[in-house]
A and B are shown apart, each in its own frame.
Chain A
Amino acid sequence: MLSLSKRNQNLTGWLFSLPAVIFLGGFFIFPMLYSLFISFFDWNLLGDKAFIGLSNYDFLLFKDSVFTTTLWNTVYFSLCYFFGSLILSLGTALIVQKALRGMRIIRTAILTPLVIPMAITGIIWTLLYSPSGFINTLLNMFGIEGQQWLYESSLAMPAIIVVSIWQTFGLYAIIFVTGLNQIPKDLYEGMDIDGAGGWKKFVHLTLPLLRPTTFFVVVLLVINSFKVFDQIWVMTQGGPGNATMTLVVYMYQKIFTSFGLATASSVALFIIVFCLVIFQYFIMGREDEKA
């Protein structure tokens, strides 16, 4: 009596879902498939499209040295961004979750970079990295010679990694704080009685219990690291040379010359992110279930 009839729920359910089905279908699912379709064509802004099978993929993987560089750069960026963010945010979380004076304000402060547009982040940091900017001035104060940060191929990528970590580490730290707060305090008391030290508690209690949170952070980090674009586009546009050319920057540049190559590289991006997320699920998610 209380619930509506089954048929009625079917109808209402679909009516309620209709806007989402239209928008998610039209602007997520369809473009995904369309993207795969286009990647089999030779097609640019002016010309007609011609079916060329896997030639776009063949070109990217085996013929285009820029794409190979791009993949290496993306891996380089991702690894540094991943571990840098993970260590900095977990370390920060362990401190800011303490019940000390001022920690609430600090939590707000470290989260603030996250809300500003990434393109603007790129602009601010370009100024900081400029030849007589803040960073070189700071280095000079310690007697270290300033650098042409964004104009030297060996320095540009590290410079961009720092910017990217700056923008998002607060987010991961706050997520870690949420996870740490969920660990029951009496578990630590138990270990206190056993006389365990800080390191032992961290390894045997904090880390294992933090696992679901770490899993979530790791997934976010992987997704965010492979889609890096805005700050690179604003700061270096992939240069100097191709030193900061990453997957999405490469794709963006190709939009204006070849839709086929652009979509083929975006399919590559999707496959990489998808595989890594699945892989993480099996490595980390599975063990959660066991525990």
Chain B
Amino acid sequence: MKSLSLQEERVKSETGTPKVKSMKSRKRLNISSYIAYLIIIPITLFAIFPFYIMVKSSLEPLDQIISSFNFFPENWFYFENYKKVFSEYPMARWFFNSTLVATMVVIGNIIFCPLVAYALARLKFRGRNLLFFLVLATLVIPIQVLVVPLYLMMAPLGLQNTYAAVIMPLLVSPFGVFLLRQAFLSVPKELEEAAIIDGCGRLRILFSVILPNTLPTLCTVAAINFMWTWGDFMWPSLVLTDEHMKTLPLGIASFQTTSSLVPWDLVISASVVAVSPIIILFLLLQKFFVKGLTEGSVKG
């Protein structure tokens, strides 16, 4: 009920002319703003407080983490957990693995997705509609459905514990194809026709006319794919079983299963290491992330 009256006030505040606004409505506007903050602040805390607890706990010794909860660490500069986790586990290697796998997937996507997206958007070829239908169909297939057959396909090829096994199924994301196709459709045809008159080939047109005009979408595809691959768990957990081939989430999850007593000091500081790059990337490239995540609702 509260949020509904807020809705009304929002409308008033944005559409009402000063002439119409009475003293009474201005006063109510203020109250509604207070109510808005009153609701949204707990929700925001709910969203970000776990991050604070994670960072805080990583700065505490083990017995303090498990014995009782304190809102602040005793020493903000206690970095023993980080030293310990890097010396006891191949953290640097896992970090490298995660970065390599995610980077390769991003490169594959920004090369292959534009090609097929351009064909789907601008070229008339037999089977185009069928291909587009397949892209849409693969958009809704959860990858979980595919892991068993993929696993059975990789084993005979001797691809167990190789980066290739993790990277290959992710090189062309249906999401990237779909997003880029929509973006390419919005590039004016005239630009392209001018290039054709100048004698440019299709590949040249794609790279020097279409892509420069849709760069934000390409960045979006890169950002979202990086995020997905960085966080991917189930598929890598099946093919990367060797300690040195693991990505960060796999490595960290294995801390817990290897002993009954969870080494929280190591687990939580390793988690901070795994989460930091992706959060920094998100904060820097926020525009692209948000665009990618909401695009579907705009373009349908």
Please report A residues at the B interface, Cβ cutoff 8 Å. Answer: 2-4, 6, 9-14, 16-17, 19-21, 23-24, 27-32, 34-35, 38, 88, 91-92, 94-100, 103, 106, 108-120, 122-128, 130, 132-134, 136-137, 166, 169-171, 174-175, 178-179, 182, 185-186, 188-189, 192, 197-199, 201-202, 206, 212-213, 216-217, 219-220, 223, 226-227, 229-230, 233-234, 248, 251-252, 255, 259, 262-263, 266-267, 269-270, 273-274, 277
Contact = CB atoms under 8 A, between A and B. Distances in A.
Interface stretch (B74-82, B83-91, B211-219, B245-253): B245-253
B123 A192 contact: no
Interface residues of B, number: 111
Given A108-B283, A223-B140, A175 B294 contact: yes
Contact of B119 (A13, A185, A192): A13
Q: Which of B36, B57, B69, B197 has the most CB of A within 10 A?
A: B69
A28 B268 CA distance: 35
A94 B3 contact: yes
Contacts of A35: 145-146, 148-149
Contacts of B147: 252, 255, 266
Given A34-B152, A116-B275, A206-B7, 6 more contacts: A9-B124, A11-B125, A13-B125, A98-B36, A99-B14, A124-B53
Where chain B touches its partner, the secondary structure class is: helix
B106 interface: no
Given A9-B123, A92-B40, A270 B141 contact: yes
Contact of A34 (B124, B153, B293): B153
Closest 10 CB pairs between A and B? Answer: A13-B125, A198-B8, A117-B231, A20-B116, A31-B149, A16-B119, A27-B169, A227-B142, A13-B123, A137-B69
A116 B123 CA distance: 38
Interface of B: 1, 3-16, 33, 36-37, 39-40, 43-44, 46-48, 50-51, 53-54, 57, 65-69, 111-113, 115-116, 118-120, 123-128, 131, 134-135, 138, 140-153, 168-169, 171-172, 174, 177, 193, 196-197, 202, 227, 230-234, 238, 248-250, 252-253, 256, 262, 264, 267-268, 271, 274-275, 278-279, 281-283, 286, 289-290, 293-294, 296-298, 300
B69 A234 contact: no
A117 B252 CA distance: 11
30 contacts: A2-B193, A11-B125, A12-B123, A13-B119, A13-B125, A14-B125, A16-B123, A20-B116, A28-B138, A31-B149, A32-B141, A91-B39, A99-B14, A108-B283, A115-B278, A118-B233, A124-B54, A132-B69, A166-B47, A174-B290, A174-B294, A186-B15, A189-B11, A217-B297, A227-B143, A234-B253, A234-B256, A252-B234, A259-B152, A269-B144
Contacts of A197: 8
A259 to B, nearest CB: 6
Contacts of B111: 19
Given A14-B125, A119-B231, A123-B268, A34 B140 contact: no
B256 A132 contact: no
Contacts of A109: 44, 47-48
Contacts of A125: 50
A86 B8 CA distance: 21
B6 A95 contact: yes
Contacts of A100: 33, 36-37
Nearest to B39: A95
A254 to B, nearest CB: 9
Contact of A19 (B9, B115, B124, B230): B115
A111 B124 CA distance: 39
B198 to A, nearest CB: 12
A119 B148 contact: no
